[in-house]
Every structure is written in C-alpha cells, then in structure tokens.
Structure 1
Amino acid sequence: MIMAARTPYKAFPLHKIHVSLTFGSRAPFRAGVSSRCCVVSATSQSCESPSGSGSGPQESKAQSAVDNDVGNTLMGQGIQGTSPASPSSRQFSGHSGQASVSLKSSKRTRLVHDDDSRVILKGLSMSELTYVLKNVAQVAQPARIAQRLFSAMYDVRAYIYRRKKQNAMPGLVASWDELEGHINAKTLDKLRRTCTLSGLVTLEDVQTSKDGTAKLVLRLDAAGKGASREELMAAGSTVEAVIIPDGAKRNTLCVSSQSGCGLNCQFCATGRLGFRGNLNACQVLEQMVIAARHVADHHADGQHNMLTNVVYMGMGEPLANLEAVKSSLEVLCEESVATFTIHANKITVSTSGLVPELNELMETTRAQLAVSLHATEDETRDWMVPVNRKYQLDELIGALERWFPKDDVGANGATNRWRSSVMIEYVLLQGINDTDEDAKRLAHMLQNVRAKVNLIQFNPHAGTIFATTSGDASARFRDMLMRSGQREVSLRVSRGDDENAACGQLAAGGSVDFAVPLSDVPARFQDAVVL
C-alpha cells in the first residue's frame, strides 16, 4: 500500500517529500526522496511504487505501477502499454526499496534504435529499462536484470575492481560478450537479439596538454528508428569532451550536448561552427563512460581513478537540448544501483540564458546551475551573446533571483539549500567588459542573487577578434567587484589551452572551418578589437 499526501507541487519542497510503504503486517517504511539529482516536474500530485529487485509478489505489484506509467510513454513506437494511464506520466526511481516519485513529464520518452532495429539501452531510466526488458526483450525477472544491466553499463567501481579479479561483474561494458557468465545464457540471447549496449560514440583521439588536461575527440554514430531530426543531423560529426584533473582528488569532465552551437557567442569557437545537431541522452552518457574508462586506465597510483565532477559546458547550449540533458541527469543520479558515484552537487549545467528552459531545469532536476553572463549591459550582451536579444538581462537576472534569492528562500517558499548558489561565468575581454564600471554594475546586478562569480581568462582561437585581459587588470576587476559587494569571486586558471581544450576553444578537433560569420562590432568597441 502506498500512502502519499495529494498536495499541490507549490506547497512542498522536494527534499521534504516522504512516502510510506507497507508490505503485509510490517510497519510502514518511511522513505525520503533521493538526495541526488532526482528528475521531477512541477505538476505531479501522486506517488507510486518502485521497480523492485526480485521476482516475488512485491516485485509484481510494484512493477505494475512502473508499467502503467512507463508503458504509455513508449506508445506509438510499436510497444503497447499495459494500462490506460496518462501518456504524459513518467516514473523516476529513488533509492532501492523506496517508493519512486511519479510526476508528469512535458515530453514523452522516446525509444531509439540502432540500424539493426535493436533498442539502445543507454540513456533509459531504471523504470524505462525495466519496461523494455519486460515488454521488448521479454526476459524473466526484468526488474532484477535491469538493475544488473544498469550497474554493468555505468558502474565505474566494478570496472576498476575487475582488473584485480577477472571473474567479477564487469562495469562500463561496451558489448554483450562482457556479460557472458554473469547473466543467464537464455536471457543474454534475448538481449542480444532485441537490444544493444552501443553508446553511438566512437573515441577517435585523445590530446593531452602539458598540465594533464585530456581532450577526447569523439565521432557520433548514426541512430536509427526513434531518433529526432536534430539527432540525425549530428550523425558523423565530431564533438569533444575534456577531462580536467585538479590536484590529487578531483577529476572534472566537461561534456558536450550538441555538435556545434546555434547561439553564436562572439568569443567562442564552438559558436562559429553553427548548429550541427543534437546529441541524444545515450551519446551524452557515453562521453562519461569513455572518460571514466580513460581516468581509471591512466592513473598509475590506482587511487585517484574516478571522475568526481561533471559539467555540461562543452560544445553546444545544454538547455537547447533539454530532453537529452534531463534524461542523462536522471541516469547519472540513479541511486538504486552503483553508477558513476557522482553527487548532484558535483554536477553543473551551464546556459547562456534560455530563461524558460532554465526554469524547467530548476523545477525538474537538482543539478547545479552556471550562467554564462559576460556583460552587464543589454547593448553589449546583445552583441556578445545574441540570445540576449530574446531574453534580456532583466528577465535572466529575475529568474536567478527567483531560484537563488539572497534570503535563502526559493521559488514558492521552498528552500534551495541543495543549490548553495548559482555560478556566474564572466569571460574578461580587454577593452570590452573589464572596466571598473563593469565590475560595479555586475555587483549591483547580483545584489539579490546568491551567486559565485567565476572570472575567466579569454582563451584565443583562430579567427578571434578579441584580446585577453592582462593578469593585473583581471585582479583589479576582481578587487573592484568584491569592494562593490560581491563577496564570492574567483579567477579561473586556464587549463588545456595548448591543445585547444580550454573554455571557448572547442571546435571539433581544432577545425577552423567556421560556418557562421561574426556580428557587426558596435561602434564604441571598434578600437578594442582586431578586425
């Protein structure tokens, strides 16, 4: 029996939601919603039972709720659901043995197939994976097999441990052959015929800079049935992901969400490529799988061999591909089985300022937020970050005041303590946005926002018209910003610039075949640029 208060979303903070499970005569088990980045949305008023891990009556009853929810999201793809539940409903799992929160989703789940019409499993949530195993592969004990497969696809600790013990359950697997002896042969045969472990990404090159930063050059493979037009556009193109080591204990992965970018920020090499297509959730996650293997394989001491942070700051605007980003976040933060072991407060999604999508990300995930601001006046930002022409600074800052208020009370009265602050990214361009007046305006703009400002050294690339602000001028800007009331300010040290792996330099393997011209430079900045 599931008991949950039918309270409108606006009335309760997610971190305070609790449900009770009662099985037979046992006392109710009180379960909190996962503390990691649970993907939810703003319109739900109900809770349903989770996918179980066994095959008994508890699994059957709990799994039927999953089927009711997930089945209808997969309708229209040759897969029939098992009940007339709302087609917009989607199940999201929390801890193993706890109830999942079933919330309305604005988009229906898509099954993507490979060229052999096999379902691509990477990118599916636990409940979606369970549904596919039951209704497509038609395996016995689908919930149990789903947990094994989820771990096999994403468990970095299992990958590391197997090098010591060859017969251990594998992790970060790339093919069904790796699971022989770990999954029943009959079940494995069904999986081979109907599903694939392909990540639709091929590692083509690794370029390592002097400071240890590693740029992964990746080719996107084609998907088949179920892929969107934008995902089909990206097939065959190249994207880049960057592994940034920081001391002995931190390895940050910067992942791409699009091939190229359609926003044409004037100082960014990726924007000059133009939009070449979207990655699907499978391809976003496969970057993490490939990077996790690389980090594990290239740490001789065997101690600092896992990714610790993930930032969606690579090629593309993540919020312009929100469906894939949210799906990848859900998998990344699954807690019912071992995965990448990265907590939500170590996962950051960056945006140039797509305000409606920013609000949706805040409402439906618990990832951290970074905003690429770069200017303090609309006239300047309209030129530097053209999306500002649609969502001007007042609207963008207003959204940040809603989600990151200085008084620590979030939207609709809910606390936002799992998001301590928003990261404001500000690239310093000589003579453009690095004056004392800019620093004062920036501090005033953020006076009601709980923010950390990250000042970024501009990293030149082929074809740029901008110059880098000097170290002394950068320090002066920082000091003026702090004296003006912005207390948390940092100066980012450039990493990987000798291999074109630094911020703003990702351009598909170093290509300078820019498809998008620069915008006209405003008259007042003519003397500050090199034309």
Structure 2
Amino acid sequence: MSATLTESERDRVLAKSALFSPPPVALPDGRRELVGLSRPELIEELAAIGEKAFRAKQLWHWIYHQGTTDFSAMSSIARPLQEKLAQRFVIGRPGVATEQTSIDGTRKFLFRFRDGQEAETVYIPDRQEDRGAVCISSQVGCTLSCKFCHTGTQKLVRNLGAAEIVGQFMAARDAYAEWPSPRGETPRLLSTIVLMGMGEPLYNYENVARAMQIVMDNEGIALSRRRITLSTSGVVPMMDRCGEELGVNLAVSLHAVRDDLRDEIVPLNRKYPIKELLAACRRYPGSSNSRRITFEYVMLRDVNDSETDARELVRLIAGLPAKVNLIPFNPWPGSIYEPSTTAQLNKFASIVMDAGFSSPVRTPRGQDILAACGQLRTESERVRVRPAA
C-alpha cells in the first residue's frame, strides 16, 4: 500500500469514525467535564474564567495523580477558586451499573455513561505477581463482526470519548483504592492497560490517542507506553499513525493464515488482507526483540488449528520480532465454534515455538462471568434520531 493511498484511506477511516461520535462533553446544566481534556484545552478553559496557566498544572495533578473528584478536597487551591471551579466544571467517572467477580479473581465492570450507553471493562490479576491488567473498551459495540467474537454480534452504537476511555481506568483505580495515600505509597495492582475490550481502537483513534496521551503524561497517571498494549484487527492505515504518535505495544488479532478463511472469520480482511497487514507490522516503529508485536490467534477446532496452519503462520511472521498468543476459544451463548483440543493446541504451539517464537497458550480468565477474551457484550442499542416534524 503506497503512502499516498494510506493517507487517503486514513482520511476515510477518520471520516467514518466521526459518524459515531461520542456525546458532547458539556453537561445539561452547562458545566464542562474536565477529564479527557488535553493540557492546552485545560489551560484554555481556565483562561476563559480568568485563571492563569499554572492552575491547569495544579488541576492536572489533583485529577490524574491524586484521583480527586471533589474540588473542595484540592488543598493547594484557595476556597473561592474551588467554588468557582465547581460552578463551571465537573470531574466525573463512568457509573458502575453492575460489577462481577470471577472465581479466579477476574473482575468485570459494566460502566454506564451519561447518555445511558454502556461498555464493559475487565481487571485481570496476574497470578504470579501482585498486579494485573485493565482491559479497556474503546467503543460501545463493534463494527467488525468477527464470527467467533460475542462483541461482534452487537452492532456499533457509538465511539467512546476520551473521558470515557481514560475514565474506565480511573474508575477501576477507585474500586481498588489505587490512588496515592497521604503517606505517599503508590499501589501497583493496576499496572498495565490493554485496549482489548469492546470495539476496534483504531476505528476510534482520535479519542483513544487523546486518552492514552493523558494516561502516559508524567505528571498524572504516568503509565509507561511499554505498559500499554493496543489490539487491532488490522486497520492498516491507522497502524502507522498509532506507531508514530503513541508508540505503544501492538497486538494484532490475526486468527487465520489464509485470506479466504480470514475473510470469513475476520471480515475486515477483505479490506486489508494479510499481506498488507503484515507489511504494516513490519513498518511499526520501535518493534524489537524487547518490544515484540503480539499476534493473537483464537484456536477454533478444525477451522484454523491444523499443523499446516501453524507452519504457514511461522512462514508469515518470519523475520518479525514477534510472539504468538494462542487463545483457546471461549464459548458464548449462540456461538457456532468449539475450542481446539488440548492435544491440538500443544501440537500447534510446539511448531511455533520450535521456529523460535514464544507461543504461550493463554489461560482463559473470567469465563464464569463472561469476561474472557471475545465474550464481552452489552444490551446498549444505537439511538435512532427521528427527523423533526
């Protein structure tokens, strides 16, 4: 794919994304949500009420480092200004509609946003360490319709805004009391972010990028780009931009090694076939032996799990700094696929490992609460706008 064509395709992706924009950031009472604003935007909002730029630095610290939602708790800000800020602004979080904890410790949040739409977020603890990953959603629903994914059965409702994306992580921190204590200790349970929840992050790139830039800001949440992984099904035109602007870890939902099969189970392949996808992976900046691209591969019995498939996978990714996550299929109500047998999983993994690629078999987490990979779905529906009479 040429650079010119990539840029043209990129413009089309962004134009399509705009059709599913999140709701306005202003509340019905006229106050403005501060979470999700960039630093320049925060400075601009404060300038509009006669405050100097250093106030933005103070607010940023309270919002993103301390996790404060109440202006009156901001001790470095005088009470008159606290009251002035409270009259004009709000520091919000998604509301928790439901919360479930799996027998393995995985915790799933159903977050409800201000317009009533919902998305799911999952905290996955690491069994080996006292920390874990927050799996964040980028859209309500999904437009990709991957055949093995429960989320793909829910039509795309809308994109999530930057405040709603970073707000998922902040709300999870609230739930685990992960903000710094008065004594200065910084807990580390929620140590990584994976953009692997509902939706395709690169079809909502602008909001995802804004949210991740906030998360990575050194004076706030300060999460390293090495602790953030963005998973894409292969929106090729946006992969280059993601690498250039964010430089986070990349995970690619591959799931098939032949275009005819991938066309069927990952329909996005009809637009960006495997050859173009792998070329974009090879261009991804910063990829190295220490920062490998992860290829995600859901193992579907008698569909994509043969030894021939494994050998072709090895051929396709040869020369790439890569690892392969083999994901046992997680059944969901109405699914037509079955998980690969343990024996076949092991054969497949051995072929990939013998070729020099790490190929761990991902242990399913949170299956009992439908929180495992490919199981997320909500009942939110797209609101149809009726024409004026």
Do the two structures share a fold, i.e. TM-score over 0.5?
A: yes
Q: Give the partner amino acid of 2:206.
A: E
Q: Give the partner amino acid of 1:127.
A: P
Tell me the secondary structure at the aligned position of residue 267 of structure 1: coil
Contact preservation (8 Å) 1:295, 1:305: no
Q: Does 1:370 align with 2:240?
A: no
Contact preservation (8 Å) 1:262, 1:271: yes
Tell me the secondary structure at the aligned position of residue 493 of structure 1: coil
Q: Give the partner amino acid of 1:495.
A: R
Q: Show the 5 A alignment for 1:177-326.
A: 177-179=72-74, 181-199=75-93, 201-222=94-115, 236-247=116-127, 248-296=129-177, 305-326=188-209
Tell me the secondary structure at the aligned position of residue 357 of structure 2: coil
Q: Does 1:117 align with 2:33?
A: no
Contact preservation (8 Å) 2:72, 2:82: no
| Residue of structure 1 equivalent to 2:4 | none
CA, structure 1 residues 356+138, in 2 after alignment: closer, same or farther (shift >3 Å)?
same
Shift in Å, 1:482:
2.3
Distance 1:252 1:372 in 2: 18
Q: Give the partner amino acid of 1:189.
A: E
Q: Give the partner amino acid of 2:125.
A: P
Shift in Å, 1:187:
1.6
Shift in Å, 1:304:
5.4
Distance 2:55 2:289 in 1: 32
Q: Give the partner amino acid of 2:81.
A: T
Rg larger in 1 or in 2?
Answer: 1
Q: Show the 5 A alignment for 1:52-451.
A: 112-135=25-48, 137-139=49-51, 141=52, 143-155=53-65, 171-179=66-74, 181-199=75-93, 201-222=94-115, 236-247=116-127, 248-296=129-177, 305-335=188-218, 337=219, 339-403=220-284, 410=285, 416=287, 420-451=291-322
Distance 1:430 1:148 in 2: 55
Distance 1:456 1:476 in 2: 14
Tell me the secondary structure at the aligned position of residue 424 of structure 1: strand
CA, structure 1 residues 130+305, in 2 after alignment: closer, same or farther (shift >3 Å)?
same
Q: Please, which runs of 5 or more residues in structure 2 have no aligned partner?
A: 1-6, 8-17, 180-184, 382-389
Match of 1:491 among 361, 365, 374: 361
Q: Please, which runs of 5 or more residues in structure 1 have no aligned partner?
A: 1-41, 43-106, 156-170, 223-235, 404-409, 514-531
RCO comparison, higher one (Cα < 8 Å, 6+): 2
Aligned residues: 355
Contact preservation (8 Å) 2:157, 2:380: no
Contact preservation (8 Å) 1:214, 1:243: yes
Shift in Å, 1:174:
2.5
Contact preservation (8 Å) 2:138, 2:160: yes
Distance 2:130 2:301 in 1: 34
| Residue of structure 2 equivalent to 1:462 | 333
Shift in Å, 1:486:
4.2
Shift in Å, 1:417:
5.3
Tell me the secondary structure at the aligned position of residue 261 of structure 1: coil
Question: What TM-score do you get using the length of structure 2 for normalisation?
Answer: 0.86
User: Deviations 1:305-341 (Å, cap 9, x if unpaired)?
Assistant: 5310000000111111001100001100111x2x334
Contact preservation (8 Å) 1:374, 1:426: yes
Tell me the secondary structure at the aligned position of residue 490 of structure 1: coil
Shift in Å, 1:111:
8.0
User: Deviations 1:112-138 (Å, cap 9, x if unpaired)?
Assistant: 322222222111122321222112x32
Distance 1:431 1:470 in 2: 10
Distance 1:472 1:177 in 2: 60
Shift in Å, 1:367:
1.1
Which stretch has the larger CA shift, 186-195 or 382-391?
A: 186-195
Distance 1:185 1:209 in 2: 44
Contact preservation (8 Å) 2:178, 2:190: no
Distance 2:73 2:289 in 1: 38
Question: What TM-score do you get using the length of structure 1 for normalisation?
Answer: 0.64
Q: Indicate the percent of aligned positions where both proteins have the same amino acid.
A: 35
Shift in Å, 1:512:
11
Q: Give the partner amino acid of 2:95.
A: T
Distance 2:68 2:120 in 1: 21
Tell me the secondary structure at the aligned position of residue 296 of structure 1: coil
Tell me the secondary structure at the aligned position of residue 453 of structure 1: strand
Shift in Å, 1:267:
0.5
User: Deviations 1:433-482 (Å, cap 9, x if unpaired)?
Assistant: 00001000100000132111110111000010000012221111000122
Q: Give the partner amino acid of 2:91.
A: L
CA, structure 1 residues 308+418, in 2 after alignment: closer, same or farther (shift >3 Å)?
farther
CA, structure 1 residues 303+150, in 2 after alignment: closer, same or farther (shift >3 Å)?
closer
Distance 2:253 2:201 in 1: 12
Tell me the secondary structure at the aligned position of residue 489 of structure 1: coil
Distance 2:364 2:287 in 1: 31
Q: Give the partner amino acid of 2:104.
A: D
Which stretch has the larger CA shift, 289-298 or 314-323?
A: 289-298
Tell me the secondary structure at the aligned position of residue 478 of structure 1: helix
Tell me the secondary structure at the aligned position of residue 68 of structure 2: coil
Match of 1:502 among 348, 360, 372: 372
